[in-house]
Structure 1
Amino acid sequence: MESSDLYPVSRLAAAQEATAAAGLGALLLTPGPDLRYVTGYEALPLERLTCLALPAEGEAFLVVPRLELPAAEHSPASRLGIEFVPWDETEDPYAIVAARLGGAAGAGGRVGAVGLADRMWAMQSLRFRDALPGADQVLAGTVLRGLRMRKSPAEAAALREAGAAIDAVHAQVPGFLRAGRTEREVGRDIAEAIIAAGHSTVDFVIVGSGPNGASPHHELSDRVIQAGEPVVVDIGGQMPSGYCSDSTRVYCVGEPPAGFAKYYDVLQRAQEAACEAVRPGVSCEAVDAAAREVIAAEGYGEYFIHRTGHGIGLETHEEPYIVAGNAEPLAPGFAFSVEPGIYLPGAHGARIEDILICTEEGGERVNHRPRELVIV
Structure 2
Amino acid sequence: MGAEQPVAFTADDYRARIRRAVDEATDAGLAGLLITPGPDLTYLTGYRPTAITERLTVLVLGQDTEPTLLVPVLERPDAEAATGAPALTLADWRDGQDPYAVAAPLLKPGARYGISDSTWAMHLLGLQHALPETTYASLTQALPMLRAVKDPHELGRLAAAGLAADETFRQMLGVRFAGRTENEVAADLARLLREHGHNQVDFTVVGSGPNGANPHHEAGDRTIAEGDMVVLDFGGLKFGYGSDTTRTVHVGEPTDEEREVHDIVRRAQQAGFDAVAPGVPCEEIDRAARKVITDAGYGEYFIHRTGHGIGLTTHEPPYLVEGERRPLVPGMCFSIEPGIYLPGRFGVRIEDIVTCTPDGGRRLNNTPHELAIVS
Bin the TM-score by the shorter chain.
over 0.9
Tell me the distance in 2 between the aligned counterparts of 1:373 and 1:184: 22
2:198 corresponding residue in structure 1: 199
Contact kept? 2:145, 2:318, Cα under 8 Å: no
- Report the counterpart of residue 19 of structure 2 in structure 1: 13
Distance of 1:283 and 1:370 partners within structure 2:
27
Return the letter of the residue paired with 1:117.
S
Query: 1:299: which partner in 2?
Result: 297
Counterpart in the other structure of 1:357: 355
The residue number in structure 1 matching 2:94 is 88
- Which residue number corresponds to residue 9 of structure 2? 3
Separation in 2 of the partners of 1:79 and 1:341? 46
Report sequence identity in percent: 49
**Stretches of structure 2 lacking an aligned partner (at least 5 in a row):** 1-6
Q: Structure 1 residues 93 and 77, CA, compared in 2 at 3 Å: closer, same or farther?
A: farther
Of the three residues 39, 42, 46, the one matched with 1:40 is 46
Match of 2:219 in 1: 220
Matches within 5 A, 1:167-186: 167-186=166-185
1:60 is matched with which residue: 67, 90, 94? 67
Whole-angstrom distance in 2 between the partners of 1:311 and 1:291? 17
Compute the TM-score of the two structures, normalised by the length of structure 1.
Answer: 0.94
For the aligned residue pairs, the C-alpha RMSD in angstroms reads 1.5
Could you tell me how far 1:270 is from its partner in structure 2?
0.8
* Structure 2 match to 1:341: 339
CA distance in 1, matches of 2:368, 2:241: 23
What one-letter code is carried by the residue in structure 1 that aligns with 2:35? L
Per mean C-alpha deviation after superposition, the further-off stretch among 215-224 and 156-165 is 156-165
- What is the Cα deviation at residue 365 of structure 1? 0.4
Tell me if structure 2 keeps the 8 A contact 1:229–1:257. Answer: no
Count residues in correspondence: 367
> For residue 97 of structure 1, what is the aligned residue in structure 2?
103
Find 1:74's aligned residue among 77, 81, 92.
Answer: 81
Q: Is the 8 A contact 1:6 1:154 kept in 2?
A: no
CA shift in 2, pair 1:5/1:288, >3 Å:
farther
| Distance in 2 of aligned mates of 1:313 and 1:163 | 11
Q: Which residue of 1 aligns with 2:30?
A: 24
Distance of 1:328 and 1:210 partners within structure 2 = 37
Task: Tell whether the 8 Å contact from 1:288 to 1:322 is kept in structure 2 after alignment.
Answer: yes
Distance 2:97 2:113 in 1: 22
Query: Residue in 2 aligned with 1:153?
Result: 152
2:242 matched to which residue of 1? 244
Change in Cα spacing, 1:316 to 1:5, as seen in structure 2 (3 Å) is farther
1:254 alignment partner in structure 2: 252
Which piece of structure 1 moves more, 35-44 or 334-343? 35-44
Contact persistence 2:145–2:317 (CA under 8 A): no
1:282 Cα deviation from its structure 2 partner: 1.2
Q: Answer yes or no: is the 8 Å Cα contact 1:7–1:37 preserved in 2.
A: no
1:272 alignment partner, SS class: helix
Alignment correspondent of 2:232: 233
Deviation of the 1:136 alpha carbon: 1.0
TM-score in terms of structure 2 length: 0.94
- Shift of the alpha carbon at 1:258? 4.7
The 3-state SS of whatever aligns with 1:179 is coil
CA contact (8 A) 2:227 2:250 kept: yes
* Partner SS for 1:176: coil
Shift in CA distance, 177/93, structure 1 to aligned 2, threshold 3 Å: farther
CA deviation string 1:307-344 (max 9, x = no partner): 11011111111111111111111111111100000010
Q: Are the counterparts in 1 of residues 164 and 197 from structure 2 also a CA contact under 8 Å?
A: yes
Give the superposition deviation at 1:215: 0.4
Amino acid at match of 2:304: H
Counterparts of 2:373 and 2:67 in 1: how far apart (Å)?
A: 56
Aligned partner of 1:324 in structure 2 is 322
Q: Which one-letter code corresponds to 1:20 in the other structure?
A: T
Which amino acid is the alignment partner of residue 85 of structure 1? A
AA of the residue aligned to 2:76: L
1:6 shift after superposition: 10
Gaps of 5+ in 1: none
- Residues 238-277 of structure 1 show CA distances to partners (whole Å, capped at 9, x for unaligned) of 122x211100001111112451001111111111111011
